[in-house]
């Protein structure tokens, strides 16, 4: 069995953002040379997510509205976590949207269903964050 590991860096210029990271994962897969196996992609920070869904701007807007309704950023004083920081809502949003995804690799390609894309969700941006890509197989 072969294995491959890479850290990808993201720096969203805004507090919250959704970034389609599928092309970068595909580049990793090509670099790994692995044709059959599994790829794990996980956010290495507890205020960011990696999830699979449609890479469609209307849906990303809807996620933003929905998450803001569930865990509004303001007022920051409503959260106990916000002692000396203001990102409690980002932790909650990350919990809802998830930490990682696993995708099957078949014949050297990400074996997606229709419209599936890997999306990086940022909830406390304007700083550099890492995403781990781990591929195992042969
Ligand atoms: Zn925090």
CA of 135 to the centre of ligand 1 (A): 29
- What are 51-78's pLDDT values in tens digits? 999 999 999 999 999 999 999 999 999 9
User: CB–CB of 19/129 below 8 Å?
Assistant: no
**Residue-level pLDDT at 135:** 98
Q: What domains does the chain contain, in order, with CATH numbers?
A: 2-137 (2.60.120.460)
Ligand 1 ion: Cβ-proximal residues, 5 Å cutoff: 85, 87
CA of 85 to the centre of ligand 1 (A): 6
pLDDT grade for 108, boundaries at 50, 70 and 90: very high
85-89: average pLDDT: 97
Distances (CA, A) of 105 to 5, 36, 78, 119, 126: 15, 5, 44, 17, 33
**Residue-level pLDDT at 25:** 98
- What are 19-30's pLDDT values in tens digits? 999 999 999 999
**Residue-level pLDDT at 89:** 98
**Residue-level pLDDT at 19:** 98
CA of 47 to the centre of ligand 1 (A): 7
Residue percentage of the chain with pLDDT more than 90:
100
User: CB–CB of 89/61 below 8 Å?
Assistant: no
CA of 134 to the centre of ligand 1 (A): 26
CA of 88 to the centre of ligand 1 (A): 5
CA of 83 to the centre of ligand 1 (A): 9
28-40: average pLDDT: 98
**Residue-level pLDDT at 102:** 98
């Amino acid at each position: 069995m072969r294995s491959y590991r890479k850290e990808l860096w993201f720096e969203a210029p805004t507090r919250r953002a959704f970034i389609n990271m599928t092309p970068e994962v595909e580049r990793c897969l090509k670099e790994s040379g692995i044709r059959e196996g599994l790829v794990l992609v996980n956010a290495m920070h507890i205020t960011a997510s990696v999830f699979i869904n449609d890479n469609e701007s209307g849906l990303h807007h809807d996620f933003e509205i929905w998450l803001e309704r569930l865990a509004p950023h303001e007022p920051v004083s409503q959260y106990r976590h916000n002692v000396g920081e203001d990102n409690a809502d980002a932790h909650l949003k990350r919990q809802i949207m998830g930490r990682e995804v696993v995708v099957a690799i078949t014949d050297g390609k990400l074996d997606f269903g229709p419209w599936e894309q890997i999306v990086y969700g940022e909830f406390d941006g304007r700083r550099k964050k890492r995403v781990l890509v781990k591929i195992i197989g042969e």
